[in-house]
C-alpha cells in the first residue's frame, strides 16, 4: 500500500466517517449518546481483535511508543465520539459534520508547531475556505427560529480539537512503530475499556444489548474501525497539514448521504454554499498542497 498516495486513504477515510455518522444518527434516536459511544467504540475494538491473529505483532507492545497510542485511547474516540454523537443529536449530521471541519485549523497548528511541517499557500487558502464554510453554517438569520441551542456549536468543535490532537500524537507514535493497525488496535481497546467502564458504572451495569439502537451503533463501530485504519495509513505516509483538511471533506459525503439515501435532513441553499466552499478548498489541498 506504500504506492498509494496518502490523500487517497484520507479521502476513503472521510467517506467512511460520513457513512458512520449517518448510522450513528439513526442509533442516537434510540440510545443515548454516552451509551451509543460505548457500544460503537466497543464494536470497533472487537473488529480489530477479531483479525489480530493475522495482523498483530506482539513485539510492538514492548516498545515505549505504545504509551502514545494508549494516551490516544484515553481521549479518542472515548471523548471525541461522545462529543460528536451529542453534536449529531442536537445539530443533525450535516451541520455537526460541517462545524467539525474546523479541524484543519487545529491540525495545521499541531503539524507546524510540533512536527515542523510547512503550511503552503494552497493549504492555507483551503483551510480558510473551510473556516468560512463553518462560519456560514453556524450563522442564523435574524428573527428566524432554530431547533438547537447555541452551546451545542461547541460540541463538534471540541470533537475536532480532540481528533486533531490525536492525529498529531498518532503521527509521532508511528514514527517509532510504523503500524497503522497496531495504533488503531491499542487506541480503540483503551478507549473501549474507558467508555464501557464509565457507562457501566453510570448505569449500574445496565447497558442496552438488544434492539435497533444497538445494531446501528455496532454497524457504525465497524465502519469507524475501517475509517481510522485508513486514516492511520494516510498519517503514516502523509503530512498532517495535508491529511486533516482532506478528512474535513466528510460533510460533503454526509450531505449527499442525507439527501439521497437516509433522507433525514432538508438541505438549504446556505448548506450548499458552505459545502461548495469545502469542496474546492479540499481540492486545493490535494492538488497544490
Mean pLDDT of 256-275: 70
Residue positions counted in the chain: 289
The pLDDT > 90 percentage for the chain reads 27
109 CB contacts (<8 Å, ≥6 apart)? 164
Rounded to 10°, the helix 121-138/240-247 angle is 30
Q: Which residues contact 246 (CB under 8 A, 6 or more apart)?
A: 7, 10, 11, 14, 234, 282, 285, 286
pLDDT digits (tens, 9 = 90+) for 14-66: 889 888 888 887 777 777 667 777 888 899 999 999 999 999 999 999 999 99
Predicted local distance difference test score (pLDDT) of residue 93: 67
**What average pLDDT does the chain have?**
81
pLDDT tens figures, 120-178: 877 778 777 777 776 666 555 444 445 677 788 888 888 888 888 888 899 999 999 99
Angstrom CA distances, 216 to 29, 34, 156, 251, 256, stand at 10, 14, 21, 20, 19
How far apart, in Å, are the Cα atoms of 120 and each of 108, 126, 241, 280?
10, 10, 9, 16
Report which of residues 1 and 69 the model is more confident about.
69
Q: What is the pLDDT of residue 285?
A: 74
By CB atoms closer than 10 A (0-12, 13-18, 19+), residue 124 is middle
Please give the grid coordinates belonging to residue 194. Answer: 474507558
Q: What's residue 43's pLDDT?
A: 93
For the chain, give the percent of residues with pLDDT over 70. 82
Q: Please give the sequence-ordered ranges of beta strands (E in DSSP) within the chain, or none if there are none.
A: none
117 contact partners, CB below 8 Å, separation of at least 6: 111, 239, 240, 241
Q: What is the pLDDT of residue 47?
A: 96
> pLDDT category, 97, cuts 50, 70, 90?
low
Residue 104 has pLDDT above 90, yes or no: no
pLDDT for 181: 97
What does the alpha-carbon distance between residue 187 and residue 133 come to, in Å, rounded to a whole number? 31
Lowest mean pLDDT among 116-120, 166-170, 180-184: 116-120
- In this predicted structure, what is the pLDDT of residue 221? 92
What gap in Å lies between CA 140 and CA 10, rounded to an integer?
31
Q: What is the spatial distance between Cα 207 and Cα 157, in angstroms, rounded to a whole number?
A: 28
- The closest of 175, 192, 185 to 57, measured between CA atoms, is 185
The owner of cell 460528536 is 84
Q: By the 8 A CB rule, do 254 and 94 touch?
A: yes
Report CA torsion sign: 106, 108, 113, 116: positive
pTM of the model: 0.82
What are the tens digits of pLDDT across the range 200-254?
777 666 665 666 667 888 899 999 999 999 999 999 998 888 888 788 777 677 7
- Among 177, 147, 161, 171, which residue's Cα sits nearest to residue 102? 161
Inform me whether the pLDDT recorded for 94 exceeds 80. Answer: no
Nearest Cα neighbor of 52 from 179, 172, 173, 231 is 179
Amino acid at each position: 500500500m506504500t504506492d498509494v498516495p496518502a490523500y487517497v486513504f484520507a479521502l476513503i477515510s472521510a467517506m467512511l466517517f460520513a457513512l458512520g455518522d449517518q448510522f450513528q444518527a439513526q442509533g442516537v434516536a434510540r440510545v443515548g449518546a454516552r451509551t451509543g459511544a460505548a457500544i460503537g467504540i466497543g464494536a470497533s475494538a472487537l473488529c480489530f481483535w477479531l483479525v489480530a491473529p493475522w495482523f498483530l505483532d506482539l513485539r510492538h507492545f514492548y516498545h515505549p511508543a505504545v504509551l502514545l497510542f494508549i494516551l490516544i485511547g484515553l481521549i479518542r474516540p472515548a471523548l471525541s465520539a461522545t462529543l460528536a454523537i451529542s453534536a449529531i443529536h442536537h445539530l443533525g449530521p450535516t451541520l455537526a459534520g460541517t462545524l467539525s471541519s474546523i479541524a484543519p485549523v487545529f491540525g495545521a497548528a499541531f503539524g507546524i508547531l510540533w512536527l515542523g511541517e510547512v503550511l503552503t499557500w494552497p493549504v492555507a487558502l483551503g483551510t480558510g475556505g473551510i473556516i468560512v464554510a463553518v462560519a456560514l453554517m453556524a450563522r442564523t438569520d435574524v428573527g428566524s427560529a432554530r431547533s438547537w441551542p447555541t452551546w451545542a456549536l461547541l460540541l463538534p468543535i471540541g470533537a475536532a480539537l480532540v481528533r486533531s490532537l490525536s492525529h498529531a500524537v498518532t503521527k509521532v507514535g508511528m514514527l517509532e512503530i510504523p503500524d497503522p493497525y497496531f495504533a488503531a488496535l491499542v487506541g480503540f481497546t483503551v478507549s473501549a475499556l474507558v467508555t464501557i467502564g464509565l457507562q457501566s458504572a453510570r448505569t449500574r451495569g445496565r447497558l442496552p444489548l438488544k434492539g435497533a439502537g444497538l445494531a446501528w451503533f455496532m454497524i457504525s463501530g465497524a465502519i469507524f474501525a475501517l475509517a481510522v485504519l485508513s486514516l492511520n495509513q494516510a498519517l503514516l505516509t502523509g503530512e498532517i497539514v495535508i491529511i486533516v483538511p482532506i478528512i474535513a471533506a466528510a460533510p460533503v459525503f454526509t450531505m449527499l448521504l442525507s439527501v439521497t439515501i437516509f433522507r433525514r435532513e432538508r438541505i438549504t441553499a446556505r448548506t450548499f454554499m458552505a459545502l461548495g466552499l469545502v469542496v474546492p478548498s479540499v481540492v486545493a489541498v490535494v492538488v497544490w498542497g
